[in-house]
Amino acid sequence: MLLRLFRGTGPGVIFLTGLTLAGLWISAFIDPQAPGQAVYETNPMPLYSLLRYIAGTSPLAGVIFSFAMMVVMVFLITWFNTSVFFINERTFLPALFFILICGLYPECRVMNPVLPGALFLMLALIRIMNTYRISGTAFNFFDAGILISAGSLFYMNLIWFWLLVIIGIALLRTWNLKETAISVLGLITPYILILGLYYVLGKDIGAYLADIRINLFGETQGYDFSRLTIIVLILWALVFLVCLSFLVMKMNTKKIKSRKTFFLLLWSLVVASAIYFLLPSASVETIYLTGIPACYIMAHYFVFARKKLMPEIMFSGFFLLVVLIHVLFVL
């Protein structure tokens, strides 16, 4: 029943998706929490430090900003599929799954640098895919490098997603040194500007470089997983594996552009997972990055799965369990 409601494309589905987002965030507005002691809070990157200065000490201001970022992300996630049309059907399910996946950790509904970083990553993915069948040198890779670099000035671990630019060149183009070089130039340009600004203002460049090192390799505050969260994560992993297997089986039947888009998303999932499992500076906040490729992979399955009962059970179960996490979090 729930899946049938959300599989449509009318105004009612948009309303229900917005209602789901509002429902999962309402308690954060009622009782806003201050951010924890993650490395990006104790040693913030420049743009995140500026953002914290603008927001002041009000936890509510942080929640408002993060919610606004979620709204923008939901729009971009929907627009990406609409523009590239790689799922091959108009659907709002990717936006809904992004909301639900990010809702696995209610504690992340605070001001954090990962959401603006995810926004820049989303824009970089769009720029990379816009190079498909462009003749001549594609300067989109310069833009993608700048976008990822700018996002890393909020959340430093986003810098690892520059690998997607190189992968995008390999997937979409005949490799050439010029496009790789301009992507590197795009990546380093924001850092050159920041270092120049620090030098002019007389700020401690050594302290800034130390902050970069800490944000990349320092140890962050751990996350206390509740029993319910562990159970839901296990069930979500099983559902996601079904969705991923379905995509792999259908990959050869897709058009070239759709196939390449999904390959790029799969690589972004690999990078996001590697950041979480391999870097001590990363924790559950990376769900905002993992959620980008995961929401499309899950939406693809629930759009095209022929059997009705099993997808309905999996969808409804995942939806209701995420809601239960939030209900018990408030209680």
pLDDT tens digits, one per residue of 132-141: 988 777 799 9
Looking at every residue in the chain, the average pLDDT score rounds to 94
Secondary structure letter of residue 90 according to DSSP: -
**Nearest-10 Cα torsion for 54, 79, 121, 162:** -160
- Is residue 169 pLDDT above 90, yes or no? yes
Residue 158 and residue 148: Cα distance in Å, rounded? 7
Residue 54's CB is within 10 A of a number of other CB atoms, namely 8
> Identity (one letter) of the amino acid at 88?
N
pTM listed for this prediction: 0.96
- Give percent of the chain above pLDDT 90: 86
Residue 310 and residue 302: Cα distance in Å, rounded? 10
pLDDT at residue 289 in the model: 98
Task: Name residue, tokens 């297997």.
Answer: 245
How many distinct structural domains can be found in the chain? 1
C-alpha neighbours within 13 Å on the C-beta side of residue 87:
26
Domain housing 268? 2-330
Asked if 149 and 188 count as a contact pair (C-beta separation under 8 A), the reply is: yes
| The two structure tokens encoding residue 190 | 């924001």
- How would residue 176 be classed by pLDDT, with cut points 50, 70 and 90? confident
Angle between helices 177-201 and 205-217 (to 10 degrees): 130
pLDDT at residue 115 in the model: 97
Mean pLDDT on 65-71: 97
